[in-house]
Copies of this chain bind each other. A is one copy, B any other.
Amino acid sequence: MAEERFQVFRRVEFGETDMAGIVHFANFFYYMESAETEFLRSLGYSVAWKQDSEKLGFPRVSVSCDYLHPAYFENLLEVQVGIEKIGKKSIRYRFRFYHEAVLIAEGRITSVCCRAKLNQPIESIEIPAEMRAKLEPYLIQENESQK
Contact = CB atoms under 8 A, between A and B. Distances in A.
Contacts of A61: 66-67
Contact of A18 (B15, B63, B74): B15
Contacts of A127: none
B64 A62 contact: yes
A6 interface: no
Contacts of A62: 64-67
A13 interface: yes
A137 interface: no
A60 interface: yes
A25 B65 CA distance: 13
A19 B64 contact: no
Contacts of A46: 73-74
Interface string A59-101: 1111111110000011000000000000000000000000000
A25 B13 CA distance: 13
A14 interface: yes
B47 A33 contact: no
A129 interface: no
